[in-house]
Amino acid sequence: MADNHGNTPAAWTAVAVAMLGFVVGGIALMLSPVNMTLFWIGIALGVIAFPLFLVMAKMGFHGSRDHH
């Protein structure tokens, strides 16, 4: 189990991008008429969050930090 509990730049970035996707998609659904282009942009942001996390983790942004 990781000692960092997801408190890493990779995890925070992925969560922020996913949250942005949900906000954009939610706003698109509240517009009248519904803006499907904006909705799909929100969906794309949400889907991109996980691969972004994986890439950042491979780059070393998800490793444990030494607190000595």
No. of H helices and E strands in the chain? Answer: 2, 0
pTM, whole model, 2 decimals? 0.81
The pLDDT of 31-57, averaged and rounded, is: 96
Lowest mean pLDDT among 4-8, 29-33, 39-43, 64-68: 64-68
What are the domain boundaries of the chain? 9-59
Q: What are phi and psi of 15, to 5 degrees?
A: -65, -40
Q: What pLDDT score was predicted for residue 67?
A: 47
Helices (H), 1-68: 9-30, 36-56
| Rounded-to-integer distance, Cα 3 and Cα 67, Å | 11
Q: What pLDDT score was predicted for residue 1?
A: 47
pLDDT in tens, 7-28: 899 999 999 999 999 999 999 9
